[in-house]
Every structure is written in C-alpha cells, then in structure tokens.
C-alpha cells in the first residue's frame, strides 16, 4: 500500500444489486472523477449526474457524493458514486478508473488511511471492524461503543493522568529547592495512580468477558452416553444437526451450532458421552469434550432422571453449571438434584432451560456493559500497564517509580496506536473487507 496512490473499490457488497456504491479516495480523486462526471462539485455536496466514459458514451446516471479532505472518512479527497448495481455498470466504471491511473483498494485500505491521517485510532478501527461483522444485537452494542471512541477516551484519560503524575514526580526530583514546586507529590499522585490501577484491573476482567459477546457465549452439553444430549441440541435448534441413536457412543466429535438468543450469540457444543472406553476414536471424542468444558461459559450436565448420581471430574468447581434431568416424559423426579427436568418428546422444560441460558448470558453482559470492552489484544497491554502501576505504587525510589508510570502510559498507548504498533497493523487491516 502507498498513501500517494488514488484508490477505488466497490463498498456496497456483491453485485447484482439495486444500488452499487463505488468509493474513490486519494490526491487524484477529483481530477479522475472530472473525466467521468460533468460539473463535478469541488465542495461537500450530493448531486445527480450522468456517468460517462471519456469518449462521452453514457455508462449510467447516479448520485455523486463529494467529500473534500481533510473532512472525509479517510482524511483525503474522497467521493462516492451511487449507481445501478449491475456487474456491467460497475465493471465499466472500474475500467475507466484504471485507465485514469487509479488502482483497486486492498482490504481495509480506506480504514488504514483514516488511521494514518488521524481520523481513527486502533481501538476505533477494531470497533468498526466488529460493527461490520456484527450478527446479533449485543455484538452491535459492544462494537458501537468501541467504534464511537468511548473506549479510546477512557484509555487516553488514563494515559494523560499518568503522564501528569510523572511530570509532578520529575518536577519534585529536578526542582526540589524551588518554592513553586510541591514539596511532596505523594498525596496528589499516588491516590490517583491507585484509582487508575483499580479501573484498569476492572477493565481487564470486562474485556476478557467481552469475548463471550463478540465471539459467542459458549454452552457445552455434557453427560454420560444416551443421556439425550444430541436430542436436546436438535430440539433447541429445531432441526436435526446431530445423529441420534440408542447406541452408546454415537457422538464421537464436538458438534457446534450457533443461535441468536434474545440478541446474544450462543454457541452450543454437543459432546461425546463421558465414560470409560477402550475405543480409541471414542477416547479422542471424550478428550475433546473435556477440553470444550474447560473453555465453556456455561456447562449443561444432562443425566437421565432415574440414573444414579455420578461424579464428573471434567467439570471444574468454578465452572458455571446447570444440572438437567432428561426423559421427564418417562420418569418422575425422585429428588431435587436437578435444576431443570426435560423431555424433548413433549417439550417440557425446554423453554425454561433456554431462558436460563439467556439469563446467564445477560448476567455476563451486565458486568461489562457499563465499561465497554475491546478485543483480547487489549488485555495483554492492560495487564502490562497494571503490572507497571503496581511497581510504581510499591516502589521506594521516586525516579524508578516515575519510569514505571511512563511504561504504564506507553502500554496504554499501544492499544490505541499512539505508540509504535507497526508490527500489528497489517494483521488488523487485513481482517477488513475490500471497500472499507
């Protein structure tokens, strides 16, 4: 990529479509568009114009939106052509733009130019990417907070406060004899630093939990063979996604299905029945079931109602768990060891279990909604910042404590891109679609 090129791309998705939006950005955007559009406005405007080849043959008529830089998405001269979305129209315009010396944009190149020109920081860039790919309401709400700059402002406020604290410390070190320099910064600085450290630690927890909203709230279905796990999954999704037989060990691998439950993306994983077996393939399935349980946000443990209670070491003591008794159409509960009783034949208990899963996902959302949360990339930098702040708070030498504050602020700067982040830029922007 080079910022000196003028680029173009289809920004509205695959054709054919009712309308195609062609975006052009760069130093030659208005000059090139002037060959295709007569009376092209040179100030911010939306106009209806004919789009013609350079030999004046008509290609199409459409809306032309003009965004002079730096007041544009990319910070450059930028314009959009809204034309009819046939492949023939789009290809004809693309051919003319190539002949005029423009080149097709690479994935994420418009957004990278916005970053390079200071229109967005990395946190806002990632939020924009998440907003484009959002499939559920909660994913949208999480992404909009990040893309709108709320999270960036929080990181920036922390970094600014730490820089000010360091400046006060260094002033005391360098000008201890001056009357206008505070004699001690402890009361002014360290209480604020401790507060910021606590806020960063809360942010780390919220960001880790946000993975269950952005990537999916993971629900793993465990239990012994023939407990009705696959039947339960099929009943939840209202279609046959898992093979159901009376033969123990039918499910050998982890079967995953995503559902949108009340705005939350929930990923259900059906697993192999847990038991001792000499079958090598089934052993591998059980190993994968245990691994899935270790990564679950919620485990549903299914057992037949009349079965003897069993121990399941696969489920850690801190793992959220719902115990479900199955085949309620055949057996009456004899004790209260189950949170819910279920019959996939009659549908008894199914709605209550579904609602309980939604409530668990909502509880997880409530713990992060007030803070907002970025990607897991942020966690490592936040953890480093937290560690440096703890060193500063526990230290005894003012010069070393000031250096720890500088390193903490730098770690926060790496999240937003205010400190050198060249090594991660290609990875971030390659996730974008062409035309954004």
Does CATH place domain 124-210+375-417 in 3.80.30.20?
A: no
Model confidence at 197, pLDDT cuts 50, 70, 90, reads very high
Mean pLDDT, residues 282-307? 84
Residue spans per domain, the chain? 7-119, 124-210+375-417, 217-369
Residue 102 has pLDDT above 80, yes or no: yes
Model confidence at 353, pLDDT cuts 50, 70, 90, reads very high
Residue 306 has pLDDT above 90, yes or no: no
Mean pLDDT, residues 104-116? 92
Residue 349 has pLDDT above 80, yes or no: yes
pLDDT of the residue at 152: 87
Residue 180 has pLDDT above 70, yes or no: no
Mean pLDDT, residues 149-176? 81
User: Per residue in 19-49, is it b (16+ CB within 10 Å) or e — as a string?
Assistant: ebbbbbbbebbbebbeebbeebbeeeeeeeb
Contact by Cβ (8 Å): 134, 143? yes
Residue 89 has pLDDT above 90, yes or no: yes
Q: Can you name the CATH fold of 217-369?
A: Rossmann fold (3.40.50)
pLDDT of the residue at 21: 96
pLDDT of the residue at 295: 84
User: Which has the higher per-residue pLDDT, 366 or 47?
Assistant: 47
Mean pLDDT, residues 323-333? 83
| 3-class DSSP assignment, residue 261 | strand
pLDDT of the residue at 334: 60
pLDDT of the residue at 181: 47
**Strand 58-67's sheet: what is its strand order?**
45-52, 58-67, 78-85, 17-25, 7-10, 103-104
Mean pLDDT, residues 169-187? 59
Please state whether the predicted TM-score (pTM) of the whole model is above 0.85.
no
Q: Are strands 217-222 and 255-261 parallel, antiparallel or unpaired?
A: unpaired
Residue 224 φ/ψ, nearest 5 degrees? -70, 170
244: CB partners within 8 A, 6+ apart: 230, 231, 234, 250
β-bridge mates for residue 51, sequence order: 37, 60
Residue 81 has pLDDT above 90, yes or no: yes
Residue 222 φ/ψ, nearest 5 degrees? -120, 165
- 127 CA to centre of own chain: 7
* Average pLDDT score over the chain: 83
User: Which has the higher per-residue pLDDT, 426 or 16?
Assistant: 16
**Strand 217-222's sheet: what is its strand order?**
255-261, 264-270, 217-222, 298-304, 321-326, 340-341
pLDDT of the residue at 15: 85
Residue 373 has pLDDT above 80, yes or no: no
pLDDT per residue over 134-152, tens digit each?
A: 888 888 888 887 888 888 8
Mean pLDDT, residues 72-85? 95
Residue 174 has pLDDT above 80, yes or no: no
Count of positions (residues) in the chain: 436
- 192 token code pair: 């604020």
pLDDT of the residue at 431: 58
Give the residue from 203, 198, 120, 119 showing the smallest Cα distance to 155.
203
pLDDT of the residue at 235: 86
Mean pLDDT, residues 74-80? 95
β-bridge mates for residue 76, sequence order: none
Calculate the alpha carbon distances from 91 to 20, 54, 94, 97 in Å: 11, 15, 5, 10
Q: Among the ranges 42-46, 234-238, 361-365, 418-422, which has the highest mean pLDDT value?
A: 42-46
Angle at 429 between CA 427 and CA 435, to 5 degrees: 150
pLDDT per residue over 383-416, tens digit each?
A: 999 999 999 999 888 888 888 998 999 999 888 8
- 42 CA to centre of own chain: 38
| 3-class DSSP assignment, residue 259 | strand
* The CATH number, out of the four listed (3.30.1360.120, 1.10.150.20, 2.40.50.140, 3.40.50.620), of the domain defined by the range 7-119: 3.30.1360.120
């Amino acid at each position: 990529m080079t910022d000196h090129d003028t680029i173009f791309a289809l920004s509205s998705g695959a054709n054919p479509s009712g309308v195609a939006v062609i975006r052009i950005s760069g130093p030659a955007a208005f000059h090139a568009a002037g060959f295709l559009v007569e009376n092209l406005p040179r100030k911010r405007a939306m106009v209806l114009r004919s789009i013609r080849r350079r030999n004046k043959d008509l290609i199409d008529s459409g809306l032309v939106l003009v965004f002079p830089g730096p007041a544009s998405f990319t910070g450059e001269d930028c314009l959009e052509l809204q034309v009819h979305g046939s492949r023939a129209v789009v290809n004809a315009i693309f051919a003319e733009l190539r002949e005029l010396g423009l080149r097709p944009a690479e994935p994420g190149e418009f957004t990278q130019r916005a970053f390079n020109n200071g229109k967005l920081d990395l946190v806002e860039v990632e939020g924009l990417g998440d907003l484009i790919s959002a499939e559920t309401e909660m994913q949208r709400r999480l992404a909009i907070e990040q893309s709108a700059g709320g999270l960036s402002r929080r990181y920036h406020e922390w970094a600014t406060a730490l820089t000010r604290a360091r400046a006060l410390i260094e002033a005391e070190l360098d000008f201890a004899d001056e009357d206008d320099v505070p004699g001690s910064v402890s009361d002014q600085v360290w209480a604020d630093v401790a507060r910021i450290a606590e806020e960063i630690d809360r942010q780390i927890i919220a960001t880790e939990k946000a993975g269950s909203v952005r990537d999916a709230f993971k629900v793993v279905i465990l239990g012994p063979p023939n407990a009705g796990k696959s039947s339960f999954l099929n009943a939840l999704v209202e279609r046959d996604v898992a093979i159901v037989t009376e033969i123990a060990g039918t499910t050998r691998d982890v079967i995953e299905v995503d559902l949108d439950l009340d705005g939350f993306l929930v990923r259900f994983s059906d697993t192999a029945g847990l038991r001792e077996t000499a079958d090598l393939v089934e052993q591998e399935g059980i190993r994968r079931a245990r691994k899935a349980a270790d990564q679950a946000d919620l485990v549903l443990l299914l057992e037949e109602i009349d079965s003897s209670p069993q121990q399941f070491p696969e489920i850690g003591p801190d793992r959220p768990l719902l115990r479900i008794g199955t085949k309620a159409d055949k057996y009456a509960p004899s004790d209260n060891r189950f949170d819910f009783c279920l019959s996939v034949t009659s549908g008894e208990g199914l709605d209550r279990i579904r609602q309980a899963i939604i409530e668990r996902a909502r509880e997880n959302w409530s713990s992060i909604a007030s803070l907002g949360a970025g990607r897991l990339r942020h966690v490592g930098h936040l953890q480093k910042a937290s560690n440096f702040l703890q060193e500063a708070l526990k230290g005894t030498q003012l010069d070393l404590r000031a250096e720890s504050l500088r390193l903490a602020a730098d770690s926060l700067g790496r999240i937003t891109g205010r400190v050198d982040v060249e090594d991660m830029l290609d990875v971030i922007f390659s996730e974008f679609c062409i035309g954004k």
